[in-house]
Amino acid sequence: MPDVSQKKRLIRILELLSSGKAVSAAVLKKEFGDSVTVRTLQRDLQDIADILPLDNRTVRGREQEFVLPRYYRGMILPVIHQNEMLAFHYLKSFIKTLKTSAIAKDIEALEKKLETLVPGDVILPSTCTDEELVYDQNKGYFDYSDYDHILNRVIQAIGDKAWIDMDYFPVDADKSRTLTIFPHRIYTYRGSLYMLATVYHYEKPVSFLVHYIKAISKSEKKTGTRPSFSPEDFTVSRFGVFSGEPEHVKINISKDIRRHFIGRIWHESQTLTENHDGSLTLTLDVPIVPDFISWILSWGVGMKVLEPEGLVKKMREIGKELCKLY
C-alpha cells in the first residue's frame, strides 16, 4: 500500500470515529497496512484525543481503544468513497419504487438522507431497464473494483450537467476514439454498467460500456447547451442496450414457458392475451435490435415470432446457421 499522509490518515480516522466504531492502533494498522507504524498511529489517535473528547478504555494488555461520544458524531461528515457513492445512488433509485408501498413513510427519512449525501439523479430508473432488483448472479457480471476513478468522474459529470471528453476503446476496435459527450444516467444490463450519453452533433442518446472508458476530462467544446433527455422516451425506443425505430411485433408463447410471462413487464408497449390452447400471444412495439433477437433466442422453442415478416425471415436465417453448427 502506498504511503498515506498524516492528513489523509486523520481524515480516515475521524470518519471511522464518526461512524461510532471503536478505534485502536491495531484496528488502524489493518486499515493502513505497512505504510505506517503502530507507534505513528498511536500518536495520531492522541492528537485527535487532544482536540475531541474521546472516550477510551484499555483492551488486550495496554492497548487503548477510543470511541467518539454520540452527541459529537454529527459534527463530522462521513467521507463517501466512489464505490459507496454509486451504491447510494442505486439505493436512491430502488427506493423510489417503494413510495406507494406500506413502508412509504418509513423510507421518507432515508430518501432525504441519501439526497444529502449524494444529490441529483444519476441512475436510470429500474422501470426503464430490463434489470430486476434481485437478479440471478449466475448470469455473470463484470468486476468494477478497478474503475473507481472512471465511475467517480462519470457521476460527477452527471451531477454537474457538463460536457466531457471521453477516450473510448471497445475490444473489437483497432484504437480508442475521443468523443465529446453529455452523460445523462448510469444503468445496468446483464451484469454490466452502462453510461447513457448524448454524443456531440447527435440528437439521440447512446449507451457506452463503462469498462471500455479509458479516460474522462472536462470538455472545452461545449459549455452552455444542455441536450434534452427523457427516461420515458428512452424506454420506448429501446430493448436492452440498443435503440431504434419501434416495429409492431407479435410472438406466440408456448404453454410450457407461459408462467414466466404472467405478470412480467418486458416493455411498456406490451399486451398479453391468452389463447385457447393455453399459450399466450405477446405483442410489443420495439426496435428489432441485437438484444431483442438474443432475448427471443434465449427462450428456445418456447417462443415463435409471428410478425413482422422481416423478423420471421431473420429467425429462419439464424435457425439455418445454427443447424450448420450442429
User: According to the model, what pLDDT value does residue 133 have?
Assistant: 42
Mean pLDDT of 258-267: 87
Enter the CATH code of domain 242-325.
Answer: 3.30.70
The neighbour count for residue 237, using CB atoms within 10 Å, is: 17
Could you tell me if 118 and 84 are in contact, meaning their C-beta atoms sit under 8 angstroms apart? no
Distance CA 238, CA 152 (A): 27
pLDDT, tens digit, 9 for 90 and up, residues 165-188:
999 998 778 888 899 999 998 888
Higher pLDDT pick, 102 / 294: 294
pLDDT, tens digit, 9 for 90 and up, residues 62-92:
788 888 887 666 655 555 555 566 677 767 7
Question: Grid cell 481503544 — which residue?
Answer: 65
Burial environment of residue 270 by CB neighbours within 10 A (0 to 12, 13 to 18, 19 or more) = middle
DSSP letters of 254-267? Answer: -TTTGGGTTT--S-
User: According to the model, what pLDDT value does residue 205 have?
Assistant: 85
Most confident of 95-104, 134-143, 163-172, 269-278: 269-278
Mean pLDDT of 287-306: 93
Distance CA 309, CA 312 (A): 5
Mean pLDDT of 129-157: 64
Mean pLDDT of 281-295: 92
Mean pLDDT of 243-248: 88
Q: Is 294 left (phi over 0), alpha (psi -120 to 50) or beta?
A: alpha
For domain 6-73, which architecture applies? Orthogonal Bundle (1.10)
Higher pLDDT pick, 307 / 233: 307
Query: What band does 30 get if pLDDT is binned at 50, 70 and 90?
Result: confident
Could you tell me if 161 and 203 are in contact, meaning their C-beta atoms sit under 8 angstroms apart? no
Distance CA 326, CA 26 (A): 61
Higher pLDDT pick, 231 / 198: 198
Distance CA 11, CA 52 (A): 14
